[in-house]
Structure 1
């Protein structure tokens, strides 16, 4: 696999990670918005309760003002009644005084009871207001804590997924590096095979036949070796394109599908070759998908 393909794949996977991260952030933001909505609802209820308390306070003030007015009227009536003169008026005044005294006494008792009722109502209102304030403060703290927990959880999930993906990509890169190293080892083996070809060609000059290692033509002599990397017989060549031996030729030359042959190499005669490309990941030649190669037909020398 080329470095550009690995880089492209890495970028695609990083884009997917970023998309997952954004999705988690959006979900967390949605939950935060819901908590804020609940918080706003509680704030509205609290404001309504405060307005109700203010209305009660206003009513209390008006009631106290009415009581003060009643006190002033009672005082003025008492002064008018005591300022009368004359005996006839004195008698009537005495009678009226007894009546007014009783009336003033009743008014005083009524005013005292009303004042006590107002004080109780005011204390109850203060208690309710304090309870509402404490409840509002507690709910605000709970809302803030829940929002922080949701945000921390979302950030933790995104960070964990990102770290796992980075570790996986590092492993893929390490595997790719190992595969590249194996291919370089195979290239060194091919170079060693070319050296063997040179020796073999020098040993066969007496037969007036030379072993071809490039630009194969019909009836050319070629060298066949078993490649341990691909677990298949290959034709030794200087070209970069692999030349795998056709299954029919393996049978004809009496070779096996393993490296347990009696000789490390074999000389055969070139017939033709077929240009191929790997379409599946699991193929008999064990090459990556998209690799181009030749299938070569040979005959006995």
Structure 2
């Protein structure tokens, strides 16, 4: 009887239910705390709209990782369903305890669990999980699937524009001095994910220039490789739609007929960047 490996990721990976189901990926939600209420991230709980409204109204918003017991339940259900191993791909351990929860759960699981720290956020983690699922669908081992997920995440580039650094400062994802400098200069920050953390990339004077620069950065990162591209936003659909259209046009050859994904950022990540954010991820496709 052939062995079967389950792929697990978390809700910050920004995979739609349809895409996750198509690849057989199980998605575990993180939590969002709005005021005194705790919600699971997702359509039936914390939505991007709910978070954007709370942030605009200055209602306290925070996020929390899934408990190790929650992930262990998912792994054990997989074992009960006949899976013999798990590849569990999660957002950067530098910014969330989710990967640590996966490691702790893995120690207690009845089947081998390969926990992967993508050192990314958002759909870069999602693309890594999809690559793991593709390896398994092609008959590859759990070990190869985990290594492929790490490789795809490491090759990916994540850039984002925020209207203000205030929300990243509140969540402890960026230093107070950096946030103060951004506000004092009235500049529009462009940021990137570097070594698993949020890093300053450039400061641009206007939102229009920042988004034009974001577009150029994505084109530069793609080069002449075959890539998958995703654009995400929080309460900024028009800007995101325009960016996605421009990237579709400029990178037609590198996309090879694949569409640029474009949608609203999930509630957990949205809580840390605030309304007006636009992000783009470039994920080179592996041979």
Q: TM-score, normalised by structure 1?
A: 0.22
Bigger share in helix: 1
TM-score (norm 2): 0.23
* Larger relative contact order, structure 1 or 2 (CA cutoff 8 Å, min sep 6): 2
Question: More strand by proportion, 1 or 2?
Answer: 2
The structure with more radius of gyration: 1
